[in-house]
């Protein structure tokens, strides 16, 4: 019995230590995800600013065109002047929407990157848990493989149950917003 309990217990401690390491790494990954979102937001704002500049530029060009038309006694709202303005609007709108797309892309990209980090964190935790479970199972099976006099003892099933119970004590699903990073 001791040949099963002792290795399983030690493997459980080892798994707990591994999970603590994984938690730290997962916390890093969570923070990195948050940072990525912030960076994406920043980049999106840059695109937004660029879009404002595009709009400003378009309005300024259109105003110039109207002013020039007015100065030249040209009807600013018809003919070539109007066409020129429309063309300005077209170019400006195209450029503005490009900035809007850039903003969207950057935001989405950042979000995706953040999600990747979170998935990594989750994977790290899962790996640590699995490793802990497998370590305890291996220890248990190793202990069972040692065997003993036929006076009763742990079966592979009971070992697995014991290992699972141990892991659940450290476990949970990673949640950067939850206290301790897990829920």
Partner 1 sequence: MAERLKRYRPLGVSIPTVPTVDYVATGRAQARAMAPIQRGLDSMTNFALKKFEEKALIEGAEYGAQNAPTKQQLQDAQGDIEDLVPGDQTTVFGRAARKAALGSMMTNFEVSAREEMINLQTQAQLQDMDVATFTEQSNAIIDGYTSTLQDISPATALKFRATMATVGNSALLAHSKEQIKKQQEAEEFAHMSAMDIMVNGDATRGIPSSVATIISEGSTTTYDAFGNMQHVSVREKIDTVRNNLKELGFSVRDKAGAEKYLKTFDAKVAEAMNAEVANFVLANPLKNLKALKSGDIKDPKMQDLWVGNMDEVQKSNAISAAYSALSEEQQRENALEAQREKDLKKQADKAYVNIVDALQSGDEQARDAALSVLRISDPSKYEEFSKRIQTGDVNDDARTVVILEQQLADRQLRSSFVTSEYLAGNIGLTTFKTYMNAASALTDKRYQAAGTRAKFLLGLPDTPLINPRGSERKAQQKVAAIMVELQAKQFDPTTPEDFDPLAFVEERASKLLADMDKATDKEIANATRQMPKIATALGLDKNASYSEIAAAFANTSNPVIRDTYEDTMDILAEAN
Residues that bind partner 1 (CB under 8 A): 2-3, 6-7, 10-11, 13-14, 17-18, 20-22, 24-32, 35, 38-39, 42, 45-46, 49, 56, 63, 67, 117, 120, 124, 135, 139, 142-150
60 versus 183: smaller Cβ distance to partner 1: 60
Helix (H) or strand (E) holding 105: helix 79-146
- Which residues, including other chains, have CB under 8 Å from residue 151's CB and lie 6 or more apart? none
Q: Is the Cβ–Cβ distance between 182 and 160 less than 8 Å? A: no
Round to whole Å and give the CA distance between 6 and 31.
37
60 versus 90: smaller Cβ distance to partner 1: 60
Q: How far is the CB of 161 from partner 1 (least distance, A)?
A: 19
Q: Is the Cβ–Cβ distance between 115 and 33 less than 8 Å? A: yes
What's the helix, strand, coil split of the chain in %, to 5? Answer: 85, 0, 15
20 versus 78: smaller Cβ distance to partner 1: 20
Q: How far is the CB of 61 from partner 1 (least distance, A)?
A: 13
10 versus 165: smaller Cβ distance to partner 1: 10
Q: How far is the CB of 10 from partner 1 (least distance, A)?
A: 4
145 versus 179: smaller Cβ distance to partner 1: 145
Q: How far is the CB of 128 from partner 1 (least distance, A)?
A: 9
Round to whole Å and give the CA distance between 57 and 77.
19
Q: How far is the CB of 144 from partner 1 (least distance, A)?
A: 7
Q: Name the token pair of 42.
A: 């920043």
């Amino acid at each position: 019995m001791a040949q099963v309990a002792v290795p399983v217990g030690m493997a459980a401690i080892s798994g707990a230590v591994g999970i603590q390491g994984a938690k730290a790494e997962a916390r890093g990954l969570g923070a990195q995800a948050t940072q990525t979102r912030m960076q994406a937001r920043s980049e999106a704002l840059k695109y937004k600013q660029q879009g404002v500049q595009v709009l400003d530029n378009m309005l300024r060009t259109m105003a110039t065109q109207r002013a020039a038309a007015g100065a030249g006694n040209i009807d600013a709202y018809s003919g070539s002047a109007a066409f020129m303005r429309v063309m300005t609007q077209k170019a400006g709108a195209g450029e503005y929407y490009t900035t809007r797309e850039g903003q969207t892309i950057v935001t989405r990209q950042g979000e995706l990157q953040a999600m990747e980090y979170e998935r990594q964190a989750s994977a790290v935790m899962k790996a640590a848990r699995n490793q802990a479970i497998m370590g305890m199972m291996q220890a248990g099976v190793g202990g069972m493989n040692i065997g003993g006099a036929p006076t009763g003892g742990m079966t592979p099933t009971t070992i697995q149950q014991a290992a699972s119970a141990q892991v659940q004590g450290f476990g949970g699903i990673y949640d950067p917003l939850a206290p301790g990073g897990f829920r």
